[in-house]
Amino acid sequence: MKITVMTRDDRFFSLDVEAEELVENVKALLEVETGVSMPLQRLLYNSRDLPNSSTLRSAGVIEGDLLILHTVAPSPAPAPTPPGNNLSLATDGSAVDPRALQQHLRSNPEMINQLLQTNPELAQAILGDDLDALQNFLRQQHLHKLELQRQQQEELALLNADPFDVDAQRKIEAAIQQKNIYENWEAAIEHNPEAFARVIMLYVDMEVNGVPIKAFVDSGAQMTIISKSCAERCGLLRLLDKRYVGIAKGVGQSEIVGRIHVAHIKIGGKFFMCSFTVLEQSDVEFMFGLDMLRKHQCSIDLKDNVLRVGGGEVAVPFLHEKDLPEHVKEHYEAMSSEGASTSAMAPQGAHLPKKASVPISERQLPVQAAPPSGVSSEMETKIGKLMQLGFDRNASLQALQLFNGNEEQAASYLFGGF
């Protein structure tokens, strides 16, 4: 493990030692590094003098800890510590003189850079102006160390327990599992830190009927959706076909008030034809769904962070977080204030972000009168062909009736291409 030793003359030394290393051996290393002979060294940890015969583990020293090296004067009575320059730590882990400790750490850029990499929260507390925040962080770190020491003592007790004790074996199994989980988390922090970052959904700038909007691109939504209020703002409610009512189900549900069969949308300077399902209420104003993504041969390019439309003819960048709609930014800010996003520095007790309740809709056929009981043989044949494509009988019959028996148009409608 790595520990840092700070001398009274503001020098810092990083040592790579074993947890079972004797304090005496650590002092021998420091004698080489500092030139101070072992008899004149006093090694302090949490204001406690570490005896030469103890090990670092038994003294409670763990990875990343800071030790203070005092040089004992050869005179019988050591000089008292000047007031206002006490770098010791109290028994609760806080600094005796936080201002002096902060100034000493700030005066060493190399140490600050090292802390920014190994312990960024401590580095931010040192660089900040809030001494109470620094003290609270030091106390929390001290409590965390005490908890680790308690766990280590429990592990030692388990190792010395009766090997045939069922409860002891169960606790050993739980300890091994927890250790594996923690090692897996550490590996993720090192090799896959992006997994702990907040994921921003994909939005692009579009114009619907000449009105600029920020469209949510969702390949998991079967239909392209527009809210009733957004459709009204875009001047499209006059085209609303109220025969296409129903319920959009997914993560939650919303009432479908109708369908707008065709309107112009502008993406990256080019115009495209688009049809929308209109929802009474929706978490998003406009959702560019899979039906229109397929129709216009779109591809989501996460490498270049763009949406390509028309087989790559047009490429529009996905919006940054600062450019998202206000209600979306408020949602992310609320998640952060509630502690919903995971923190790489504090895995215990962290809350995973809630899944956004964006409706992933299923295509709804227009509500019509019940089909007549008598169906011609020609219509039965067309229904059979559509059923072979995976659609149920009622949906196939309604689609054929909607397009006056044209099975190609009915199939295109059922596949979502219309």
Q: Considering only CA atoms, which of 115, 73, 56 is closest in space to residue 101?
A: 115
- Written as six digits, the tokens of 367 are 């509500």
Please confirm, yes or no, whether 129 is among the known catalytic residues. no
Q: Could you report how far apart the first and last alpha carbons of the chain are, in Å?
A: 64
User: Pairing between strand 246-250 and 66-71?
Assistant: unpaired
Cβ-proximal residues to 403 (8 Å cutoff; 6+ apart), any chain: 409, 410, 413
Question: 43: Cβ–Cβ under 8 A, 6 or more apart, which residues?
Answer: 5, 23, 26, 27, 30, 49, 50, 67, 68, 69, 70
3-state secondary structure (DSSP) of residue 339: coil
**Angle CA(395)–CA(397)–CA(399) in degrees, nearest 5?**
70
Q: Is the dihedral of CA 84, 87, 88, 89 positive or negative?
A: positive
- Burial classification of residue 144, based on how many CB atoms lie within 10 Å of its CB (0-12 exposed, 13-18 middle, 19 or more buried): middle
Between the CA of residue 396 and those of 59, 125, 216, 258, 366, what are the distances in Å? Answer: 77, 66, 31, 20, 12
- Burial of 108 per CB tally in 10 Å (0-12, 13-18, 19+): middle
Residue linked to tokens 């091994």: 176
**Region of 301 on the Ramachandran plot (φ > 0 left; ψ -120 to 50 alpha; else beta):** beta
Selecting among 92, 165, 205, 218, the annotated active-site residue is: 218
Joined tokens for residue 1: 């493990």
Q: Which residues are catalytic?
A: 218
